[in-house]
Amino acid sequence: MKERGSFSNSVGFVLAAAGSAVGLGNIWRFPYLAAKDGGGLFLVVYIILALTFGFTLLVSEVAIGRKTHQSSLTAYGKIHPKFRWIGGFSALVPFLILPYYCIIGGWVLKYAVTFISGHGTAASDNAYFTGFITAPLSPIVFDVIFLTATSVVVYMGVEKGIEKFSKVLMPILLFLVIAIAAFSLTVKNPETGMTGLDGLKVYLVPSLEGITFKKFFVVVIDAMGQLFYSISVAMGIMVAFGSYVRDDDNLMQSVNRIEIFDTLVAILAGVMIIPAVVVFMGKDGMTSGPGLMFMALPKVFEAMGGIGQFVGAVFFIMVLFAALTSSVSVLEAVVSGLIDRFHWSRRRATVIEYLCALVIGIVVCLGYNVFYFEVEMPNGATGQILDIVDYLANNIFMPVVAIGTCILIGWVVKPDVVINEVTKNGEKFGRKGLYRVMITVVAPILLTVLLLGSLGFI
């Protein structure tokens, strides 16, 4: 236990967990889905699912971590020996995610440097992004810088590294998110007269135009898939962070705070991006993934005129902070597993995982030039090496881990294992009845549907 460390208090845990949740998934996926799925309609569905489905997975994983004082790789086996396989899958997820997450973090770093140095106008050309990621050396250099920064924080340990890092960075990150969101509401397109407030209506007002049961079902599945990104479940992170929570801390209070923080930032991410994009590019300007961050938004900053350069710099600094807090938690999920399973020192585990992520990252970077190819995946998307790794981790392994967790807790060892852990100091479990229904029936069904959709069966 001494080697693994612990959070000094519940604030450290909440900030670290919230830092994990507030990442690229919130910033470049949430706004796109909200714009695509009827604005306010998506928000309502997302919030309901966050308070039910998301809450169920989050409290289960944190409780498993604290009960066993182990990372996900070994924790599930301690809950029930026959479910040790869940730990293997959950450890594989962050191992796959870390290399390409740091590559994308390197892209963000590149754009932050570009805007800070006053070359933001060049970044508004689509060829700028394409030219950068297909270059043989530059993406690797920025990947190494980002991966090294992430590894240094984890190398320092739980309290002196992750907790201290989160306590400094998270307040700054939240301030920048609020500031950019507020600015986004003040922008105006001199040619069309459209303002940020007009764009905000597109985001917040529910659109039921052409809604059918099938389309509503798609909204629900999109919102549920987004929750995996948003609350960092099914990837070993919350189990690892839960294992560092002290036995006398109020677990339910911390989980509630993480829920609130994450949902707030996810909604603010939409306020940051959707109004500005709609004002200058129309609703059709909304896209998912790298296209939004590295192609659409630089065009928006250029359209803002002189202040766009400054706003772009602040925005990419904010995204860089968000990416760093998330990548630290992803790396920690792997390192804590190596410490618990093989009894390695934190330093040895961090260095070995750093080298693995470095090698895999270089291969993924070269997937845009030397190793370039395209393949169609079961969900209909076409991708390269990075997209394939992302698909395996997020669309296959994460739902499998979540389904396994529901079966283990809901049907094998029973929900009281989690409920007793959460309430062992006399705390109240406010949504106990809801939790039992979700973990045993509703969540497994929803997750199975999500997995079948990812495999192309729905």
Greater confidence, 85 or 265? 85
366-418 pLDDT, tens digit each: 999 999 999 998 878 888 999 999 999 999 999 999 999 999 999 999 999 99
Read off the pLDDT of each residue in 208-215 and give the average, rounded to a whole number: 86
pTM listed for this prediction: 0.94
CA distance 388 to 8: 39
According to the model, what pLDDT value does residue 380 have? 81
Least confident of 104-108, 214-218, 284-288, 440-444: 284-288
Least confident of 92-101, 127-136, 200-209, 413-422: 200-209
Q: Are 226 and 394 in contact (CB under 8 A)?
A: no
According to the model, what pLDDT value does residue 4 have? 59
- Token pair belonging to 148: 């090294």
List residues bridging with 195 in a β-sheet. Answer: 188
Read off the pLDDT of each residue in 434-457 and give the average, rounded to a whole number: 94
pLDDT confidence band for 3 (50 / 70 / 90): low
According to the model, what pLDDT value does residue 2 have? 45
Q: Which residues contact 433 (CB under 8 A, 6 or more apart)?
A: none
pLDDT confidence band for 262 (50 / 70 / 90): confident
List residues bridging with 383 in a β-sheet. Answer: 375
Read off the pLDDT of each residue in 315-324 and give the average, rounded to a whole number: 94
CA distance 443 to 279: 38
Q: Are 14 and 258 in contact (CB under 8 A)?
A: yes
pLDDT confidence band for 161 (50 / 70 / 90): confident
Greater confidence, 241 or 26? 241
164-200 pLDDT, tens digit each: 888 888 889 989 999 999 999 999 999 899 999 999 9
265-277 pLDDT, tens digit each: 889 989 999 999 9
Highest mean pLDDT among 134-138, 280-284, 426-430: 134-138
Instruction: Reduce the DSSP state of residue 118 to 3 states and report it.
Output: coil
CA Rg value for the chain: 21
pLDDT confidence band for 263 (50 / 70 / 90): confident
pLDDT above 80 (res 326):
yes
Ordered by where they begin, the domains of the chain are 10-454 (1.10.4160.10)
CA distance 143 to 132: 12
pLDDT above 50 (res 1):
no
In angstroms, what CA-CA distances link 235 with 87, 114, 231, 311, 390? 9, 32, 10, 33, 13
- Return the biggest CA–CA distance within the chain: 65
